[in-house]
Amino acid sequence: MKAISILGTSSNAGKSWVATALCALLRRRGLRVAPFKAQNMSNNSFVTFDGGEIGRAQAAQAEACGLAPCVEMNPILLKPSGNQGSQLVVLGEAREHIKAADYYRRVEQLWPIVCEALAFWKTRCDVLVLEGAGSPVELNLMTRDIVNLRPVHHLGGRWLLVADIERGGVFAQIAGTWQLLADADRARGLGVLVNKFRGDLSLFADAGEHLAPRIGVPYLGALPHRGDLQPESEDSLCRDAEERDGDETLAWVRFPHLSNSQDCQPWLHDTGVNVRWVSRPHELQGAKAIVLPGSKNTLADLAWLRATGLDREIAAAAGRSVPVIGICGGYQMLGRRLTDADGAAGDAGDVAGLDLLPVVTSFSKGKEVRHVEASWNEEHWPAYEIHMGRTHATSDCVSLLQVRNGDGWRGEGVRSGAVWGTYLHGLFDSAAVRCELAHVAGFTAHRASRTSWRAHLQSIYDGMANLLEQHLNLEPVWRYVEN
């Protein structure tokens, strides 16, 4: 098995994007390829078919490889939850909340788990595409870093370095990273590439000449920014992958502890809708529908809603029959009461909800993680649940839709007039659901795409692979893979 690690000069340089594109390209060339990230920090997570939890980026990369996501693709996942630190997920199973300092004291205990996951792939693929995290040369962290260079050493693999030209100082990013690498790490380099170029690429044609005397690996080229080729947004603050102007506004509340922000992305496949993320009350003005997405600390984000005054604006909008949809943590907030005596899911407390749905939620240490088949009218599609807490109706309720998971069909979620609540991530993967909400909201120009969201994603992966072939000199990669 060959191993190629995608390293970055910084966070958000585009490592996830390049790793996904390379997975798609290697698959196209007939190779068995799989994705891997030793440790991910993200609240955008995915449920594997056997009920494990991994980062969304690795799930997207698995799809680009033509594989079902599995926990061996992301053995360690950290889900930030505020003052408590992060929830530690090991091989798909949620464990305790852990502070950063405690995590770094335990990396040597976690490293053997990473090694076992790496060994899992040795007979199962021709090429393992590893994704790094942040920068590989953070001098204060390098001895405790199990994501960037250590897996490359363990496998005897090679690396590609991605630099982000949007941040400015791209030559300093590349040359500085090279200077801080040890000689043994430099010897594993296949090349560097520049990402997110906007404008006339010919103006950057001499980049290789400037880099050649300063680094000891080939300059592979520059990738133009393509807003239409963004399958996932690993960082929930990457608005390019989530927002697009349209006619009428579908507002999504950007919680401080936002999770699974990608639930909005199928709307970008349609026309006639302006998906807009909001964090202040006046930004809800004119919105024809409002979505409260997932949260990694529901009680803290509910308190934030009240502190900002967004709670009053949401209640007023619901009073005008503006549709309000809660997903996961947002669903819990729409209820009458939330109780977390021990702080199992974040901040502890016993607080009133927004009282827009006749449900109550209680939290305990148990976590619900499951894949389901969802049904709305005659449409069926895969979705999943990841949540702390159980929600119960306080009066007779109408289920939002039907789901099944090995057993028979059951009602899921609650619908009370124009207010919907559900635990399902992937609710809007269904065109039927999007059309129903557009109808209830009175979107006059909305048109759902005729291509399913999953088929659309496959076309994006193909486009990403094309972009690599068109703009990069990948000969060093092919020599390594085919040797």
CA dihedral 468, 471, 475, 478 (to 10 degrees): 10
CA nearest to 2, candidates 187, 152, 199 = 152
Cβ atoms of 217 and 179 closer than 8 Å = no
CA nearest to 435, candidates 271, 242, 252, 245 = 271
Give the number of other Cβ atoms within 10 Å of residue 394's Cβ. 12
Strands 33-36 and 410-412: unpaired
CA dihedral 260, 261, 266, 272 (to 10 degrees): 160
Active site residues: 328, 425
- By the 10 Å C-beta count (0-12 exposed, 13-18 middle, 19+ buried), 123 is classed as exposed
Half-sphere exposure of 8 (CA within 13 A, CB side): 21
CA 401: distance to chain centroid? Answer: 25
State the DSSP code for 447. Answer: B
Token pair recorded at residue 305: 């809603």
CA nearest to 335, candidates 279, 390, 404, 276 = 390
**What would you report as the CA-atom Rg of the chain, rounded to the nearest whole angstrom?**
23
Burial pattern 77-106, b for ≥16 Cβ within 10 A else e, equals bbbbbbebbbbbbebbebeebbeeeebeee
**Residues, the chain:** 483
